[in-house]
A and B are shown apart, each in its own frame.
Chain A
């Protein structure tokens, strides 16, 4: 069974940093692209970032480019999102997702709240 378990969310002040992790199991992690998608409270889904299967290629939404960094450790089957210079508008549930012909599996999400 595919499982994606996020961790690392919490309350952070504007300008602060957080590192999200996503532990994957139930599939061969190194064979799949992965993404982070976020959802602000009461709002829709917004794609944040993607990384290819070996980590050599990444893309970012314009809203997070230069502030967020996606990475992966295939030996640990873990996906990461380093978030710096956080803003109020980054407040959201962050989902770790797998890509097979589009985003197919989603984790349960981890809440990031940016507030003073």
Chain B
């Protein structure tokens, strides 16, 4: 199975400052169809997860443009350009080839 490793696991950030989360996979996520099924989801306290980014860098509908995804192969990054209070929660990367696997989660909090 593909192992997904996120860092850092805890991320204190000052409001208005940028934040970055890394996700590394144990093998290349380029699928046989040429696509890379790497996504990022946000789980606010007490809520279900919500997908933010799919196929590495595509924002889902309604996701603020301060969120961006990048990367290729085995190294991926989620960036928040200016952290807002509503961004507090846990962020997960996920790879979408069977069996699907998630990163451990990165807890973002306001400093």
- List the count of A-B residue pairs having beta carbons below 8 Å apart: 57
Closest chain-A Cβ to B80's Cβ sits at a distance in Å of 20
- The reply to whether A109 and B48 form a contact with Cβ atoms under 8 Å apart is yes
Give bound CA distance, A2 to B4, whole Å. 28
- The reply to whether B48 and A103 form a contact with Cβ atoms under 8 Å apart is no
Q: Which of B45-102 contact A (CB under 8 A)?
A: 48-51, 54-55, 60, 90, 92, 94, 96, 98-102
- The reply to whether B94 and A103 form a contact with Cβ atoms under 8 Å apart is yes
Tell me the dominant secondary structure on chain A's binding face: strand
Closest chain-A Cβ to B70's Cβ sits at a distance in Å of 16
Closest chain-B Cβ to A3's Cβ sits at a distance in Å of 12
- The reply to whether A45 and B48 form a contact with Cβ atoms under 8 Å apart is no
Is A72 an interface position by the 8 A CB rule? no
Cβ 8 A contact of B54, one of A44, A102, A106, A107: A102
- The reply to whether A50 and B100 form a contact with Cβ atoms under 8 Å apart is yes
- The reply to whether A45 and B105 form a contact with Cβ atoms under 8 Å apart is yes
- The reply to whether A104 and B54 form a contact with Cβ atoms under 8 Å apart is yes
Contact digits for B17-44, partner A, Cβ 8 Å, 1 yes 0 no: 0000000000000000001011101010
